[in-house]
Amino acid sequence: MEIARKQLATIDVQLQYAKKQLKRFEILFKNSTSSETEYDKAFFTEKQLERERETQTAKIEKIQLKLDKSTVKSPFQGIVLEKNITKGDWITPNSKTCLIAGMDDIYVKVSASEDLLPFIVIGENIRVIIDSLKMELTGKISSIVPVADLRSKTFVIKVTIPYFDKAIQNMSATAYVPSSKKMKLPMVSRDAVILFNGQSFVYSIADGKAVIIPVNPVVYEKKYVGVESPHLVKGMPIVIDGNDRLKPDQPVEIIGEK
């Protein structure tokens, strides 16, 4: 490019001189002090240099186009994971220059049993835990890979998640995918649920005595748990502190409520 521009500058100087010569011979020719041959020579020299200038300008535009096409631009915002060349290396068309991870296209691949397929809804938000960082995110089910494993009969769900610092390719995550149709459940504090001999239950208070209520935990949401129980109703008092020492029908004195 630098050589081509200097050649164009040289042509500009020659063209400037040719234009000046043409004006001089044009005056001399009108005054009959110059021959027609000398005037024609000056006239066509100026025209030839103009064409050379156009050709050189087109050459510069072609070089600029090559330079523009030689600049590889990332098609998306991302982070370079792998460099395959260094500055100054020669490359050929279709050669691999680097590996880029898109910051706007991070997803978790979740293997799920084919029995859960009826409950998976594209576009639904689900809870995702980044195990190593103990970080909780909200992911969105973006697609289902339409191939099931022949042995395990599981399929893969793609869940998109927002970019976060310390994101590492192939790190593990835990995703909470739907396992049934949507339902309304009583939500109680996790501290209220007691597990004993494989059975889950909570304690309520009725007539100043502890009442045991069997429950079936279904879903966990932060510090609460959704349970199935026909005996739980909205507003019912539930013991969350000291319940591990209670027994059914034991007299209870409430000293504080939340």
Residue after which a domain boundary falls, among 130, 157, 176 = 176
Together in a domain, 95 and 109: no
- On the 0-12 / 13-18 / 19+ scale of CB atoms within 10 A, 108 is buried
Residue 110 lies in a domain: yes
Residue 257 lies in a domain: no
Together in a domain, 12 and 50: yes
Model-level pTM greater than 0.75?
no
Residue after which a domain boundary falls, among 81, 102, 123 = 102
d(CA 43, CA 59): 25
Residue 116 lies in a domain: yes
Residue 253 lies in a domain: no
Range of the domain at 91: 72-102
- CATH assignment of the domain containing 60: 1.10.287
Rg (CA), the chain: 40
Residue 34 lies in a domain: yes
- CATH assignment of the domain containing 112: 2.40.30.170
Together in a domain, 171 and 130: yes
Residue 78 lies in a domain: yes
Residue 62 lies in a domain: yes
Residue after which a domain boundary falls, among 12, 44, 69 = 69
pLDDT in tens, the chain (258 residues): 999 999 999 999 999 999 998 888 888 878 877 788 888 888 899 999 999 999 999 999 999 999 888 777 888 888 888 999 998 888 888 888 888 888 888 899 999 999 999 999 999 999 999 999 999 999 999 999 999 888 888 999 999 999 888 888 889 999 999 888 888 889 999 999 998 888 899 999 988 899 999 999 988 888 899 999 988 888 889 999 888 888 899 998 888 777
- Which two structure tokens, joined as six digits, stand for 227? 């349970």
Residue 256 lies in a domain: no
| Number of domains forming the structure of the chain | 4
d(CA 91, CA 97): 8
Query: Is-contact 114 171, C-beta < 8 A?
Result: no
- CATH assignment of the domain containing 217: 2.40.420.20
